[in-house]
Amino acid sequence: DVDAENPGTIIKVDTFEKTAKTWSEEGLYPSEPIFVEHPEAK
């Protein structure tokens, strides 16, 4: 939400337990993960 206090907040919602956890740090903006293959992977 761009109007939130910290628009870079990650929210994890548990629909079974009906709970939500949030994470944010001022000045940090998370994005989608980037996976880097190990150089010796088969």
Q: What is the pLDDT of residues 1-42, one digit of tens each?
A: 667 777 788 889 999 999 999 998 888 888 888 888 998 987
* Tokens encoding 29: 């903006």
Strands (E), the chain: 10-14, 19-23
Cβ–Cβ under 8 Å, residues 7 and 26: no
Rounded to 5°, angle at Cα 2 from 24 and 12: 40
The model's pTM is 0.54
Cβ–Cβ under 8 Å, residues 11 and 21: yes
